[in-house]
């Protein structure tokens, strides 16, 4: 059985543009408080039907490349059966099947263990919902 479980909901303003929002610093801040130097797991969960969590390099163009790939794979047009919201919004409801709404990551000595260029990111293509929540949970 674990020694500790801590969870916190954070608010993220994504605005009215499609975005890949870096959560890595927020995760590290949370772990400084929640992990207390312990080993364990960090779960990042987005409780929305139209957003996901990705591990991706940011700042070198990969975040824009991801959005471009999602546009090619999930065009924002009228082909979708789900038709409320802005045109093409039905694709946003398919996004979590491709970019899952969660990630579970190792924590060693209270530090998130990511690869050199990995960042924890919220992927949000839904321009109709400018405010998101992300649940961070540490078990260790």
Cα dihedral value 82, 20, 137, 117, nearest 10: 140
1 confidence band (pLDDT: 50, 70, 90): very low
Q: Which residues pair with 41 in a beta bridge?
A: 106, 139
pLDDT tens for each residue of 45-71: 999 999 999 999 999 999 999 999 999
How far is 71 from 76, CA to CA, in rounded Å? 7
Q: Which domains does the chain have, with CATH numbers?
A: 5-139 (2.60.120.460)
pLDDT tens for each residue of 118-140: 999 999 999 899 999 999 999 99
């Amino acid at each position: 059985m674990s020694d500790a479980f801590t969870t916190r909901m954070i608010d993220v303003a994504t605005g009215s543009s499609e975005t890949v929002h870096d959560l890595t610093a927020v995760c590290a801040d949370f772990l400084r408080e929640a992990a207390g130097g312990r080993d364990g797991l960090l779960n990042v969960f987005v409780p929305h039907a139209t957003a996901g969590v990705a591990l991706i390099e940011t700042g070198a163009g990969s975040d824009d490349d991801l959005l471009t790939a999602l546009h090619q794979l999930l065009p924002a047009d009228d082909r979708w059966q789900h038709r409320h919201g802005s045109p093409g919004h039905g694709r946003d409801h398919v996004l979590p099947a491709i970019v899952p709404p969660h990630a579970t990551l190792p924590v060693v000595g209270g530090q998130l263990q990511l690869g050199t260029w990995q960042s924890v990111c919220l992927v949000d293509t839904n321009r109709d919902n400018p405010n998101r929540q992300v649940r961070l949970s540490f078990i260790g």
